Amino acid sequence: MRQVPPISAVLFDLDGVLTDTAHAHYAAWKRLADELGVPFDEATNEALKGVDRMGSLDLLLRHGGLSVDPESRDALASRKNGWYLDAIQAYGPADLFPGAREALCAVRDAGLRSALCSASRNAPALIDRLGIADLFDIVVDPASVPHGKPAPDIFLAAARQLDLSADRCLGVEDAPAGVAAIHAAGMFAIGIGDPQVLSDADRVIPSIADFRLEDYHAR
């Protein structure tokens, strides 16, 4: 088992790690797929996890053997996003996973930095609704990086903004694309979920409630 390096920051994904908007995403993508006549089920949806909106749309179109012009592509992505935003309007602190706030507070109490590295451009609004915006030192805008996960760009951007070397950062993700991005950035990866799905992670825990900072950081 790979040894945990000394860390100065923890970089968190959002969906599937701190809260669950998976059903809202699934319903919006399924609605769009149905309109386009593209077969879509849970297995197809699994490939979209951790991938940004436009990347997910490209995967969906490729799955359906469809090609659209850039203007239509933007319109499709906007339509899906509108349905998703409608679905999360009612989100609040009660929609945090058990242990999510505690994990973020533990990072802060230990004097470490924290960053949100979500592929969703809606992440700032969502963490505000969830009541945890003040627990992050930075929120990386996925629109500000050239490539989405599994490319390392968003995690490397977080390290730069925190003025840390990548090897001083620990990443927490629930999707294989996210774990791949963390590793590509040269960081230690904690996977949340199924060990078989996240077999490339350095450590896997069932949920954020099982995150114990002392397992990765010596005070």
Residue 1 lies in a domain: no
13 is catalytic: yes
Q: Are residues 74 and 133 in the same domain?
A: no
* Token representation of residue 116: 């949100």
The pLDDT, as a whole number, for residue 219 is 59
The pLDDT, as a whole number, for residue 38 is 93
Residue 3 lies in a domain: no
pLDDT tens for residues 50-59?
A: 788 888 999 9
Q: Is the alpha carbon torsion for 65, 39, 30, 94 positive or negative?
A: negative
Q: Are residues 28 and 16 in the same domain?
A: no
The closest alpha carbon to 216, from 192, 176, 188, 182, belongs to: 188
Instruction: Say how far apart CA 114 and CA 185 lie, in whole Å.
Output: 16
DSSP character for 130? H
Q: Give the domain CATH number at 143.
A: 3.40.50.1000
Q: Are residues 182 and 112 in the same domain?
A: yes
The closest alpha carbon to 120, from 170, 84, 163, belongs to: 84
The pLDDT, as a whole number, for residue 217 is 81
Residue 69 lies in a domain: yes
Q: Are residues 73 and 112 in the same domain?
A: no
At 47 the three-state DSSP class reads: coil
DSSP character for 3? P
pTM for the structure as a whole: 0.82
Q: Are residues 16 and 124 in the same domain?
A: yes
Please say whether the beta carbons of 5 and 164 come within 8 A: no
Residue at a domain's end among 87, 102, 133? 87
141 is catalytic: no
Domain range for 41 is 22-87
Q: Are residues 77 and 106 in the same domain?
A: no
Q: Are residues 140 and 56 in the same domain?
A: no
Residue at a domain's end among 50, 66, 87? 87
Residue 4 lies in a domain: no
The pLDDT, as a whole number, for residue 1 is 65
Instruction: Say how far apart CA 159 and CA 185 lie, in whole Å.
Output: 9
Residue at a domain's end among 35, 52, 87? 87
Q: Are residues 104 and 203 in the same domain?
A: yes
Among left, alpha and beta (phi > 0; psi -120 to 50; other), residue 122 is alpha
Number of H helices, E strands in the chain: 8, 6
Domain count, the chain: 2
For each successive 10 residues of the chain (219 residues), what is the average pLDDT? 86 94 86 93 82 88 91 93 88 95 97 94 91 97 91 97 97 95 97 95 97 84
The pLDDT, as a whole number, for residue 4 is 80
